[in-house]
């Protein structure tokens, strides 16, 4: 097998890891959850759980990758010294990356479609019902919906085929730089809108009386899912770096970038919605219905809408490239394929596997796996968000904290190798007993809310 590739720079690693973590959940899930659970008070609760919950998991996933110089599948096999059970579990968790792309590429395709529609003036002066009709027309067309999805898959795989440094790292740097520039531009615009103050007040001034018990599991879930740890999408980037810097420090930088995007997205969403009296709802309704209606009402809305959706495209594509790179590396590591062959195989595989989601809004809309009104996208998201991510996080904790897996000493040695912030070795008991309990509570709550 060819010598292990390495990223060119530390900045490339930070931006690539952050780009993989930063996605649509930062924009369409975070503002909705914040709005639903008390605004600024919920944000502080979320940050608390991010530190005690998401941070250790991020360090652990980076550590297993760097220690083994392999994907999660190979990492668990090597670090566990041949214990096959971990490799079997890792194989199941690695499927989460493929399932994530099976629906994420479809939604990313919608973003490209909306960017084009704003640029060419399709939404200029239209009424709310016409915006809804346009979204229905997009998702209802098997050709258009599938075409954009196939284009996204091809884009991601071509970037990975070009190379780790020349393709993945270079493109991620450009996309992340563009993402922050567009986000800052949108923030400046949003906070200067008439009536934006009410949105900022709700978002930035804590109202502890608005917090309820339901906010606690919601904050835990957001802290967990925003980083997408547990399915190996971060571990692969750990395998591409040296030991000059401690992983405790690197993980903190990635989390800071991810959180910054979420916070700044709120500084766009809440002022814009408050300025035009629009309720902050979650999911596709916010991105593809509510906000386009706002942009249609304001001066220069055609171009502000185009900038907003271009920002979303950048956020989504960085995730697509990062996750596809994980799948490509998995094939390269385990089948000894070169990068071009592995990228081509992933491209063909994802194009086929992603079709059910794209067709689930039109030709296959009669398939409702989670009950009446649900779609194939809902089912695939349920598998990843409600099952593979939390259970993957639980597996990661047990793997790094117990003698049955890698063990605490091996993890701490790897995590703290290099200059910079050190992960607290004395936190072993707390992490071993408290965090798994929190994950099980979160998993149980989600299961009960889904099925009972």
In a domain, 3, yes or no: no
In a domain, 5, yes or no: no
In a domain, 2, yes or no: no
Q: How confident is the model at residue 228 (pLDDT cuts 50, 70, 90)?
A: confident
The CB density around residue 424, as the number of other CB atoms within 10 Å, is: 13
Q: Report the C-alpha gap between 354 and 27 in whole angstroms.
A: 23
Contact of 379 with 105, CB cutoff 8 Å: no
Q: Which of 338, 340, 164 is nearest to 236 (CA)?
A: 164
pLDDT tens column, 363-386: 999 999 999 999 999 999 999 988
Q: Does residue 134 carry a pLDDT above 50?
A: yes
Q: Which of 263, 200, 246 is nearest to 50 (CA)?
A: 263
Predicted pLDDT of residue 1: 45
Over the chain, what is the mean pLDDT? 91
What range defines the domain where residue 189 resides?
10-451
pLDDT tens column, 415-438: 999 999 999 999 999 999 999 998
Q: How confident is the model at residue 183 (pLDDT cuts 50, 70, 90)?
A: very high
Predicted pLDDT of residue 12: 94
The CB density around residue 304, as the number of other CB atoms within 10 Å, is: 20
As a whole-number percent, the residues of the chain with pLDDT over 70 amount to: 98
| Secondary structure of residue 419 in the 3-state scheme | strand
In a domain, 383, yes or no: yes
80-85: long-range contacts, CB 8 A cutoff, minimum separation 24:
80/399, 80/405, 80/406, 83/404, 83/405
Q: What are phi and psi of 299, to 5 degrees?
A: -65, 130
DSSP H helices, 80-141, are 84-119, 128-140
Q: Report the C-alpha gap between 138 and 147 in whole angstroms.
A: 11
Q: Report the C-alpha gap between 157 and 168 in whole angstroms.
A: 10
- Average pLDDT for 9-35: 89
Bigger pLDDT: 25 vs 328: 328
Contacts of 115 (CB under 8 A, 6+ apart): 306, 309, 310, 313
- Average pLDDT for 184-193: 94
Looking at the structure of the chain, the number of domains it has is 1
- Average pLDDT for 145-151: 98
Q: Does residue 220 carry a pLDDT above 70?
A: yes
Q: Give me the CATH number covering residue 159.
A: 1.20.1740.10
Range with lowest mean pLDDT among 25-39, 121-135, 404-418: 25-39
Neighbouring-strand partners of residue 419? 245
In a domain, 4, yes or no: no
In a domain, 414, yes or no: yes
In a domain, 189, yes or no: yes
Neighbouring-strand partners of residue 379? none
What angle, rounded to 10 degrees, do the helices at 170-191 and 301-335 form?
Answer: 150
Task: Copy the structure tokens of residue 59.
Answer: 């360090």
Q: DSSP letter for 191, please.
A: H
Task: Copy the structure tokens of residue 236.
Answer: 């692969």
In a domain, 1, yes or no: no
């Amino acid at each position: 097998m060819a010598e292990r590739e390495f990223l060119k720079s530390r900045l490339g690693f930070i931006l690539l890891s952050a780009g993989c973590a930063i996605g649509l959940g930062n924009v369409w899930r975070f503002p909705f959850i914040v709005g639903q659970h008390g605004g600024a008070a919920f944000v502080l609760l979320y940050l608390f759980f991010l530190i005690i919950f998401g941070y250790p998991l991020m360090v652990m996933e980076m550590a297993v990758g760097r220690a083994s110089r392999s994907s999660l599948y190979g990492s668990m096999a090597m670090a566990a010294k041949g214990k096959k059970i971990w490799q079997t579990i890792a194989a199941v968790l690695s499927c989460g990356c493929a399932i994530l792309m099976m629906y994420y590429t479809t939604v990313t395709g919608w973003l490209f479609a909306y960017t084009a529609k704003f640029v060419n003036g399709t939404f200029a002066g239209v009424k709310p019902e016409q915006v809804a009709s346009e979204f229905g027309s997009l998702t209802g067309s098997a050709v258009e919906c599938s075409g954009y999805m196939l284009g996204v898959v091809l884009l991601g795989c071509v970037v990975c085929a070009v190379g780790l440094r020349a393709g993945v790292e270079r493109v991620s740097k450009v996309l992340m730089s563009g993402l922050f520039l567009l986000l800052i531009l949108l923030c400046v615009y949003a906070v200067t809108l008439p009536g934006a103050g009410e949105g900022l007040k709700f978002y930035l001034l804590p109202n502890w009386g608005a917090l309820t018990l339901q906010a606690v599991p919601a904050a835990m879930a957001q802290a967990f899912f925003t980083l997408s740890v547990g399915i190996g999408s971060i571990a692969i980037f750990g395998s591409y770096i040296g030991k000059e810097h401690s992983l405790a420090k690197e993980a903190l930088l990635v989390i800071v970038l991810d959180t910054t995007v979420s916070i700044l997205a709120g500084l766009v969403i809440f002022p814009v919605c408050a300025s035009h009296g629009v309720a902050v709802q979650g999911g596709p309704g916010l991105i593809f219905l509510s906000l386009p209606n706002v942009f249609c009402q304001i001066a220069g809305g055609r171009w502000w809408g185009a900038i907003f959706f271009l920002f979303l495209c950048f956020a989504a594509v960085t995730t697509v490239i990062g996750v596809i790179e994980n799948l490509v590396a998995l094939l390269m590591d385990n089948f000894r394929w070169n990068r071009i062959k592995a990228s081509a195989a992933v491209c063909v595989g994802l194009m086929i596997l992603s079709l059910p989601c794209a067709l689930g809004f039109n030709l296959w809309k009669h398939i409702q796996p989670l009950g009446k009104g649900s779609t194939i996208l809902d089912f695939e998201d349920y598998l990843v968000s409600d099952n593979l991510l939390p259970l993957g996080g639980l597996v990661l904790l047990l793997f790094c904290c117990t003698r049955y897996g890698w063990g605490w000493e091996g993890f701490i040695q790897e995590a703290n190798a290099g200059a910079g912030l050190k992960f607290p070795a004395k936190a072993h008991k707390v992490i071993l007993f408290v965090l798994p309990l929190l994950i099980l509570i979160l998993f149980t709550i989600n299961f009960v809310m889904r099925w009972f």
